C-alpha cells in the first residue's frame, strides 16, 4: 500500500459497518490508502506502507463535499455587502454586477480566480465540490464558465436561469426559450447538472420547469435554488421534477417538508447565505425529524455568501439550525455526496476516494466548540496532501 494515515485518535468513517453509530467512529485507528482509494481501516500502528502520516492522536474526518458553489466569477461586491449590513435588502438583481465583470474577464483571469478559491476551499477541508455557471448568461459565456469549472470538478452545473440578463429585460419568457434552444445545447457537453433560481425577481415555477425538463432531456440531472427569500413553489417543483437537491430551503411550509421527506430530493441548507444576507435560518430540525435527507453547502459566491469555510457552516448549523454536531458533520460530508448522487466520496469505507481531513483537534465537535478557529491541519484529496 502507498500510504497510511496512522495514530488517529478519533476517526469518522460515516460507515456504520466499520465503527460506532451513524458516523462509524473508530478510536486509535489508521486509514490505509493505495493510490487514490481507501483499502482498509485498521488499528493504529499495525500497517507498514511506503509513506506514513502521523495524526498524533488527532481527529480525522471524511473530506467535506461542497454540493453548491459558484466559484467561477470575476469582480467584487464588498460594497453591496456593506450596504446590506447597513440596512439595504438582498435582491436577486445584484447578480448582474457579477455578470458584467465575468463577461469582461479573460479565460486566464477566470481560471486564476477560480484556482485561488479552489485552493482556499481545500485549506478549509473541502475535497469535492460542485461548481455552477450563471454569471455568463450568453451561450458563449456560460459554456466558457462551465469549461473552466471542469478544470476543478466533473460536477459542473448549468445555471443559465440564474437571473434574466439585461439583453432580455422584461422578457423572461423569451429568455427561457433562448436558453432552451441555444444556450443549453452549447452548455450541456460541459455540465453534469442543470439548475434554476426559482424566486420572485428571478424565474417562476413554469419557467424553471421548462429549463430543468429541457436539461434532463439532454441527460443532465436537475437541482433547484428554492425557497431562499420567501415561501414559494420551488421545493415542490424540485420534488416533482426528481431533482437531486433543493437548495436553500429557508422558508418551508408543512407540505414542502412532507414532499421532501417522501422523496429522494435532498434538502440542502446554505446557512452562510442566511448569515450573510441577515435572513432567518431554516427550520432544519423539522426537516430532519420528518425523515428527509439533508446536506449543508457553502454556496460560495460573491453576492450572498463569499465564504469557503465549511467550519463556519457547521457552527451555524449547530447553533442556529439546531442540528447536532453529528448531524452537521454528516450533512457536510455524506449529505453533500448524496446531493450530488455520488457514492465514492463523503465516507471513508473501503473503496472510497482517499479524501480526508486531519483536524487540529481531538474531536470534530471542536468545529463548533471553537468557532472561527482554522482547525484543518491537512487535506488529502485522492491520497495526495494539499495543505
Grid cell digits, residue 226? 428554492
Chain position whose Cβ is nearest to Zn ion: 299
Residue number with CB closer to Zn ion (300 or 380): 300
Question: Which phi-psi region, left, alpha or beta, contains residue 52 (left: φ > 0; alpha: ψ -120 to 50)?
Answer: beta
Q: Give Cβ neighbours of residue 108 (< 8 Å, ≥ 6 apart).
A: none
Interacting positions 274-313 with Zn ion (CB under 5 A) = 299
Q: What DSSP string runs through 137-199?
A: -SHHHHHHHHHHHTTT-S-EEEEEETS--GGGTT-HHHHHHHIIIIIHHHHGGG-SEEEEEES
CB-wise, 127 or 298, nearer to Zn ion? 298
User: In terms of CB distance, is 299 or 365 closer to Zn ion?
Assistant: 299
> 226 or 317, CB closer to Zn ion?
226
Taking the complex as a whole, the smallest distance from the CB of residue 270 to Zn ion amounts, in Å, to 7
Residues 56-75 that bind Zn ion (CB under 5 A): none
- Name the H helices within the chain: 78-85, 95-104, 107-123, 139-149, 172-178, 184-187, 205-217, 234-240, 254-261, 271-276, 284-289, 310-319, 325-332, 334-339, 366-369
Minimal distance, residue 213 CB to Zn ion, in Å: 20
Map 227-277 to HEC letters: CCCCCCCHHHHHHHCCCCEEEECCCCCHHHHHHHHCCCCEEEECHHHHHHC
Smallest separation (angstroms) from Zn ion to the CB of 95:
10
Least Å distance, CB 329 to Zn ion, is 22
Between 14 and 299, CB nearer to Zn ion: 299
Q: Can you read off the three cell numbers belonging to residue 299?
A: 454556496
Cell of 319: 447553533
Task: Using the minimum distance from each CB to Zn ion, give the nearer residue, 135 or 364.
Answer: 135
Q: What string marks each residue from 76 to 105 as x (binds Zn ion by CB under 5 A) or -?
A: ------------------------------
Residue 6: partners with Cβ closer than 8 Å, 6 or more residues away: 30, 44, 45, 47, 52, 53, 54, 55
For the window 112-131, what string marks contact with Zn ion as x by the rule CB under 5 A?
--------------------
Q: Smallest gap, in angstroms, from Cβ of residue 197 to Zn ion? A: 8
Q: Nearer Cβ to Zn ion, position 13 or 133?
A: 133
Binding residues for Zn ion, total number by CB under 5 A: 1
Whether 77 contacts 28, CB under 8 Å: no
Q: Are 187 and 142 in contact (CB under 8 A)?
A: yes
Which residue, 299 or 379, is less far from Zn ion as judged by CB?
299
> What values do phi and psi take at 262, rounded to 5?
-95, 20
Work out how close the CB of 34 gets to Zn ion at its nearest, in angstroms, rounded to a whole number. Answer: 36
Burial class (CB in 10 A: 0-12, 13-18, 19+), 351: exposed
Minimum distance, C-beta of residue 70 to Zn ion, in the bound complex (Å): 6
Query: Could you tell me the smallest distance in angstroms from the CB atom of residue 68 to Zn ion?
Result: 6
Q: Which is nearer to Zn ion, 55 or 137 (CB)?
A: 137
Least spacing, CB of residue 299 vs Zn ion, in Å: 5
Binding region for Zn ion (CB under 5 A): 299
Amino acid at each position: 500500500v502507498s500510504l497510511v494515515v496512522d495514530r488517529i485518535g478519533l476517526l469518522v468513517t460515516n460507515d456504520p459497518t466499520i465503527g460506532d453509530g451513524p458516523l462509524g467512529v473508530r478510536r486509535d485507528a489508521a486509514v490505509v490508502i493505495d493510490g487514490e482509494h481507501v483499502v482498509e481501516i485498521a488499528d493504529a500502528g499495525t500497517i507498514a506502507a511506503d509513506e506514513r502520516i502521523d495524526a498524533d492522536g488527532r481527529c480525522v474526518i471524511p473530506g467535506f463535499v461542497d454540493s453548491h458553489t459558484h466559484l467561477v466569477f470575476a469582480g467584487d461586491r464588498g460594497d453591496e455587502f456593506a450596504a446590506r449590513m447597513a440596512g439595504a435588502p438582498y435582491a436577486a438583481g445584484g447578480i448582474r454586477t457579477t455578470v458584467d465583470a465575468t463577461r469582461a474577464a479573460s479565460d486566464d483571469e477566470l481560471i486564476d480566480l477560480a484556482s485561488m478559491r479552489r485552493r482556499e476551499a481545500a485549506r478549509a477541508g473541502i475535497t469535492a465540490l460542485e461548481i455552477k455557471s450563471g454569471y455568463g448568461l450568453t451561450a458563449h459565456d456560460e459554456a466558457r464558465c462551465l469549461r473552466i469549472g471542469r478544470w476543478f470538478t466533473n460536477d459542473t452545473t448549468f445555471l443559465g436561469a440564474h437571473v434574466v440578463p439585461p439583453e432580455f429585460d422584461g422578457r423572461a419568457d423569451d429568455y427561457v426559450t433562448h436558453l432552451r434552444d441555444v444556450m443549453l445545447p452549447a452548455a450541456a457537453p460541459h455540465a453534469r447538472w442543470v439548475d434554476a433560481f426559482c424566486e420572485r425577481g428571478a424565474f417562476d415555477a413554469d419557467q424553471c420547469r421548462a429549463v430543468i425538463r429541457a436539461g434532463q432531456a439532454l441527460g443532465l440531472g436537475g437541482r433547484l435554488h428554492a425557497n431562499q427569500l420567501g415561501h414559494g413553489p420551488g421545493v415542490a417543483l424540485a420534488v416533482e421534477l426528481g431533482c437531486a437537491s433543493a437548495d436553500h430551503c429557508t422558508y418551508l411550509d408543512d407540505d414542502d417538508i412532507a414532499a421532501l421527506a417522501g422523496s429522494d430530493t435532498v434538502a440542502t441548507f446554505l446557512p452562510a447565505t442566511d448569515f450573510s444576507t441577515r435572513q432567518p435560518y431554516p427550520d432544519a430540525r423539522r426537516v430532519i425529524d420528518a425523515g428527509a435527507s439533508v446536506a449543508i453547502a457553502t454556496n460560495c459566491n460573491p453576492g450572498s455568501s463569499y465564504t469557503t469555510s465549511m467550519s463556519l457552516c457547521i457552527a451555524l448549523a449547530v447553533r442556529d439550525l439546531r442540528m447536532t454536531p453529528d448531524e452537521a458533520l454528516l450533512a457536510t460530508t455524506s449529505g453533500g455526496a448524496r446531493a450530488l448522487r455520488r457514492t465514492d466520496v463523503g465516507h471513508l469505507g473501503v473503496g472510497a476516494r482517499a479524501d480526508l481531513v486531519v483536524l487540529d483537534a481531538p474531536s470534530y465537535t471542536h468545529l463548533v466548540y471553537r468557532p472561527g478557529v482554522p482547525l484543518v491541519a491537512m487535506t488529502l484529496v485522492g491520497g495526495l496532501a494539499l495543505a
